[in-house]
Structure 1
Amino acid sequence: MEMKLQPQPHVLLLPFPAQGHIKPMLTLAQLLCHAGIHVTFVNTEHNHRHLTQRESLSARFPTLRFRSIFDGLPSDHPRSISPYFLDIVTSLRSTTAPLLHQLLVSLASKTNDDIGAAAGDQLPPLSCVITDGLMCFAIDAAEEVGLPVIAVRTSSACSVWCYLCLPKLIEEAELPFGDEDMDKTVSGVPGKECLLRRRDLLSICRMPVDHPVFKFFMEEHIAITRASGLILNTFEDLESSVLSHIASKFSKIYPIGPLHALLKSRVDDHDLSSSSTAMAASLHREDRSCMTWLDSQRPGSVIFVSYGSLVKLTRVQLLEFWHGLVNSGSHFLWVMRSDVLSDEGEHMRHVTPTELEMGTKERGFIVDWAPQEEVLAHDAVGGFLTHSGWNSTLEAIWAGVPMLCWPQVADQQVNSRWVGEVWKIGIDMKDMCDRTTVEKMIKALMGGEEREVFTRSVDRFSKLARASVSESGSSYHNLEKLIQDLRNL
């Protein structure tokens, strides 16, 4: 008797509308499609228009379809997470949530007519929603349609555990706190009682507990535990102790990071270079001229400087960093986004000091955006001055590059504490930004006595990351479990 093939599942992926969330979610989409699963990837209309290489990704992965949904904001809204975060999340909850419900009803129907499907290619009914953990209105929408939900947190496990402990921190009167005694340790994060100081907690912990942004994150991390599972972009050997705590809150957790590396290990495609995956998920146009400049530099001599896609600097901060970089004597590649200044337009109004122009001409290279994974993998790069965003931290660990951390928002303060104190793969420079400190820290990172400790430690974690995405590795195995669980739905 001929066996009937079981149809492949169809999942909808919903990222939070920011570069650092879209990139790992789109990598996850490619991994699922490679396993034959149908994926509908839903961006806001604004980000859908700006996402590069949609067509080439759809051609490479025939079961990947892109859809867009209205975010409720006027067309001329800047949609910058900083300082418009509340605008964005309020609009998503009020306008996007009901539109998502309508889309789920349509895709869950056995007769759904998907506009992205080729003629005669009937898309199977939607079987699961995989939502970003900051889009928990999707849990309500999915439950109303009768669909299971798996959540994704694109930040570190250590920061997720801190978010989940917010109620406990309030209950134990460790939140809120004032500006005084920022080095006081906190005990309300089980398992990390002697590690975290007030300054190392999530950036929202510096707000009043009734602040709308604090309340948003607290509500989302209470809601997220209703999901049937949690996907994390990390690996067991990196965050095992924290993962065991998180596992107490969810029936299933899937640590499958580093996602960008897992994709390369799973997809045997010579066209799938680090540049093509990065570009596919980028809302910024990369300037590849920096790669030619790096080719002309000595091995390990360059410090790469990037504050990610969201962090803003004042002009004073930018000049302090610039002086520190030039005075350190190191060669540097600096991603200086056109929108990096918090005081818009200030960049053009002031003349750059002559000594900075001369120092940059001699030893520096500045671009608006760089192919970060390729830059970190380049032999010339010996250090990374970073905002400690989780994608950047994982990419540096994978490449074996020690870090100088200057965290600003969200999970970054927690990540930088782990970099400096737990993993010992770099220096935590949080809450400091003067040229003397920047110069001193760069010299320590690039050639000080501690450098050998950093490089030895980051090399060890880099090897563990590579092992995790190999066929016998934990992340590879956890992805297999996720795929099987989706098929069993």
Structure 2
Amino acid sequence: WPLQGHINCMLHLTAALLDAGFRVTFLHTEHNLSRLARAALPPGLRLLSVPDGLPDDHPRSVRSLKELTESMFTTGSAAYRALLLSLRSDSDAPPLTCVIADGIMPFAVDIAEELGVPALAFRTASACSYLAYLSVPTLVELGEVPFPADDPVRGVPGMEGFLRRRDLPRGVGRSEDGAFDPMLLAIAEGIAHAGKARALILNTAASMEGPALARIAPHMRDLFAIGPLHAEHDAAASLWSEDDSCMAWLDGHGDRSVVYVSLGSLAVISHEQFTEFLAGLVATGYAFLWVLRPDMVKTTGSVLREAVKEAGSKARVVEWAPQRGVLRHRAVGCFLTHGGWNSTLEAAAEGVPMVCWPFFADQQINSRFVGAVWRTGLDMKDLCNRAIVQGKVREAMESGELRGRAHAMAQQLKLDVAVGGSSSSDLERLVGFIRELRSSIVISSKYASVTSLFLHHH
């Protein structure tokens, strides 16, 4: 799926498959492939692309996701079918063993299977959010619509004790009370469709999300929990140019003395919200590194620069940061994040406490798990004023309990991805699963070929 968060996760999977000895083709949209020319991609990875059906000057922003979706499901799917047919008929290339398709694109699974190519689904979000999406028919029946309210939710099995309506996945706009966002309904339908794939792959660990995995498994033909993939199979491909100079800036600060702030690749905030965030961060007294994309705040760049300049030498702003390196840096004491799954996993793997301000989709439920289940951070959803920002950030920077639990989770995840760990064992099982698919196909090539469908954009 053509979004930065999906690109990150999918590239880590390609690195794991390449390490296992497979040949891998990584499928982008043409728009994204042109933006990723500078990426540090794994050696041996073949790149192909299809059009997403939108003009070059289309913003492809969070507020045009409906247009992107409609175009991908029409123009994109037709181009994908044509490409898959040409790959199957290419006698000079190794035969296709399987397709691994982003779990948000059911057409990619269906078309592959129609053409005789086994298809697996890879969902790049958390297991807890996946289970919430699977539960959408029950939520609709119960009238438990995503809404900023504290009413308990009964419609997601296993989460009755802590999930609230404000924690359910949401669209970009606010849902009206009593109405369910059509976009969320479409996503939920597509996610449930993964049950028709040969298997579902999730970038998570049983130690983090065992109960949710157990409830998802009966709906799937097979299930693999192989994360966090970046911890053992790192790869990088950013749609923005990373500002590495912020690493030297971090070097000049003491241990756990800097707040890292990034709301991801899609979130947009108002000028008023920007002002409250900035005032709250300044009031903490801590230095902060803030990722502010050019398209993130609804105001002019000069206004932003002047506002940050007034914050003084403790503020450092970049358009995009090498996030995994930042989170590993000794100077970072907490992470103010949107709670996207990649960011959540990256902070968890480094033992960095989080303050979550989710924007939409799965981020809502991820932040609830951070605050109420794992208790490795604080959930600040639906709140944005300087006093709350100041209080939550200070607590995350100074709480020994939060830091201790975050550190314990990081240690457990290291065990999960190490040889013999649950995620490592499931990855081995996945490799074996793909090799069995290969053995069921008459091939003359020495190597298996895995086509991984990661259709991306920003």
Question: Taking structure 2 as the reference length, what is the TM-score of the superposition?
Answer: 0.91
Match of 1:235 in 2: 205
C-alpha separation in 2, matches of 1:472 and 1:260: 17
Q: Deviation string for 1:105-149 (max 9, x for gaps)?
A: 12123x34xxxxxxxxx4211121111111111122112202221
The question of 1:39 aligning with 2:24 is answered: yes
CA RMSD of aligned residues (A): 1.7
Which of the numbers 378, 403, 407 marks the counterpart of 1:427? Answer: 378
Distance 2:286 2:295 in 1: 25
**Partner of residue 206, structure 1:** 175
389, 392, 395: which one aligns with 1:444: 395
Query: Which among 69, 85, 88 is matched to residue 89 of structure 1?
Result: 69
1:311 matched residue in structure 2: 267
Deviations 1:217-270 (A, max 9, x none): 122123222111111111111111111001111121111111111215xxxxxx
Post-superposition offset of 1:53: 4.2
One-letter code aligned to 1:135: M
**2:166 is aligned with what amino acid?**
R
- Displacement of 1:188 after TM fit? 0.5
Q: How far does the alpha carbon of each residue in 1:384-416 deviate from its partner, in whole angstroms, 9 at most, with x for none?
A: 000001100100011110001100111001000
Partner of 1:467: 415
Instruction: Report the residue type matching 1:206 in the other structure.
Output: S
2:278 to 319, 322, 341: 322
Deviates more, 1:215-224 or 1:400-409: 215-224
User: 1: distance between equivalents of 2:304 and 2:376?
Assistant: 37
Structure 2 spans left out of the alignment, 5+ residues: 438-458
Matched, 1:383 2:367: no
In 2: Cα distance, 1:210 partner to 1:435 partner? 31
Q: Structure 1, unaligned stretches of length 5 or more?
A: 1-15, 113-121, 265-276
Q: Give the conservation status (yes or no) of the 8 Å contact 1:209–1:215.
A: no
Q: Is the 8 A contact 2:140 2:180 kept in 1?
A: no
Give yes or no for the alignment of 1:250 onto 2:250: no
Amino acid at match of 2:41: L
- Cα deviation for residue 209 of structure 1 reads 5.0
Distance 1:473 1:178, change over 3 A: closer
Rounded Cα–Cα distance in structure 1 between residues aligned with 2:305 and 2:158: 50
For 2:19 and 2:305, how far apart are their aligned partners in 1? Answer: 51
Once residues 211 and 477 of structure 1 are traced to their aligned partners in structure 2, the CA distance between those partners, rounded to angstroms, is 38
> Does residue 365 of the first structure (1) align with residue 316 of the second (2)?
yes
The residue aligned with 1:292 is: 248
Change (3 A) 1:283 1:292: same
1:57 aligns with 41
How much has 1:215 moved relative to structure 2? 2.9
Deviation at residue 178 of structure 1 after TM alignment: 6.2
Residues 350/138 of structure 1: CA separation in 2 closer, same or farther (3 Å cut):
closer
Q: Secondary structure at the match of 2:233?
A: helix
1:137-176 equivalences under 5 Å are: 137-175=107-145
Matches within 5 A, 1:333-372: 333-341=289-297, 343=298, 345-348=299-302, 352-353=306-307, 357-359=309-311, 361-372=312-323
- Counterpart contact for 1:404–1:426, Cα < 8 Å: yes
Residues 254, 331 of structure 2: 8 Å contact kept: yes
Distance (whole Å) between structure 1 residues aligned to residue 434 and residue 179 of structure 2: 38
Structure 1 residue 483 displacement after superposition: 0.8
Change (3 A) 1:178 1:414: closer
Partner of 2:8: 23
The answer to whether the 8 Å contact 2:147/2:166 transfers is: no
Contact 2:194 2:220 in 1 (8 A): no
Q: Distance in 2 between matches of 1:178 and 1:363?
A: 37
Q: Counterpart of 2:370 in 1: which secondary structure?
A: helix
State the secondary structure of the residue aligned to 1:488: helix
8 Å CA contact 2:355, 2:380 repeated in 1: yes
C-alpha displacement of 1:27: 1.3
Aligned to 2:451: none
SS of 2:41 mapped into structure 1: helix
CA contact (8 A) 2:132 2:169 kept: yes
For 1:8-65, what per-residue CA distance to the aligned partner results, in whole angstroms no more than 9, with x for missing partners? Answer: xxxxxxxx000000111011112111211111111000001111445x636x23xx21
Q: In 2, Cα distance between the equivalents of 1:23 and 1:352?
A: 32
Give the deviation of 1:202 after TM superposition. 0.6
Distance 2:305 2:418 in 1: 51
- Are 2:240 and 2:320, in contact at CA under 8 Å, matched by a contact in 1? yes
Farther off after superposition, 163-172 or 392-401: 163-172
SS at match of 2:383: coil
8 Å Cα contact 1:183/1:197 also seen in 2: yes
The 1:317–1:233 alpha-carbon spacing in structure 2 relative to 1, beyond 3 Å, is same
CA distance in 1, matches of 2:147, 2:47: 45
Closer/same/farther in 2, CA of residues 464 and 210 from structure 1, 3 Å limit: closer
Take 1:462 and 1:297, find their aligned partners in 2: how far apart are those partners?
A: 23
Equivalenced residues, count: 434
Rounded to whole Å, the distance in 2 between the matches of 1:437 and 1:226 is: 45
> Is the contact between residue 118 and residue 198 of structure 2 (CA under 8 Å) also seen in structure 1?
yes
